[in-house]
Amino acid sequence: MSNPEIQLIVGLGNPGAEYAATRHNAGVWLLEKFAQQHGTALRTEAKFFSLYAKAGGYHLLFPQTYMNASGRAVAAACQFYKIPPEAVLVIHDELDLAPGVARFKQGGGHGGHNGLKDIQAALDSAAFWRLRLGIGHPGDRKLVVQWVLKPPRQEEQTLIDIAIGQALDVLPQALKGQMNQAMQQLHRQN
């Protein structure tokens, strides 16, 4: 798969104050920090069913459709701006990585993540890039829903914040299509 420059950065999470501090919103935490670094904030954009901003030449999107329907928002932005899936970076929480770990990946399955599953269906492609932020696993499949919809413990939050900082450090390279260099640097750090 090719490494075009990223045009659309999507932070996955659920809208509303009751979800803002939950593990499932880790992708939004990074997206909001990126927007702040560029002196902007996300604002309602009805045509994308999202909070949206333009920063550093990139389109930023936080779908307001709830996690399970994230694809509707991503597809709307991709269609409007004519962005191919390979130029999309989706930032999301990852159960299979420990807190403090961040990893880039292109393509692949959704691993049971309903946001990714819906985006794949809406784009009819899995070729988009992912930035996976580790939130750890509760140890039992039956506890996953409760786990992702609760805030991390303080020590976990500290590790997640460190991983977000490390990811933000290499993000400029990744967004320019230099994914191999960004991956090597990030994956070496955590």
Please write the tens of the pLDDT for every residue from 119-168: 999 999 999 999 999 999 999 999 999 999 999 999 999 999 999 999 99
Q: Say which residues have a Cβ less than 8 Å from residue 88's Cβ, sequence separation at least 6.
A: 6, 7, 8, 10, 74, 78, 123, 128, 129
Residue type, 163: A
Half-sphere exposure of 30 (CA within 13 A, CB side): 32
Residue 153, helix vs strand vs coil: coil
Is residue 13 scored above 90 in pLDDT? yes
Is residue 4 scored above 90 in pLDDT? no
- Domain architecture of the chain: domains with CATH: 8-189 (3.40.50.1470)
Q: How far apart are CA 63 and CA 116, in angstroms?
A: 12
38 is catalytic: no
Please write the tens of the pLDDT for every residue from 16-63: 999 999 999 999 999 999 999 999 999 999 999 999 999 999 999 999
The pLDDT value recorded for residue 112 is 86
Is residue 1 scored above 60 in pLDDT? no
- Active-site hit among 24, 59, 92, 113: 24
Q: What dihedral do alpha carbons 106, 103, 16, 56 form, nearest 10°?
A: -70
Average of per-residue pLDDT across 75-83: 98
The pLDDT value recorded for residue 19 is 97
Question: Which pLDDT band, with edges at 50, 70 and 90, does 3 fall under?
Answer: low
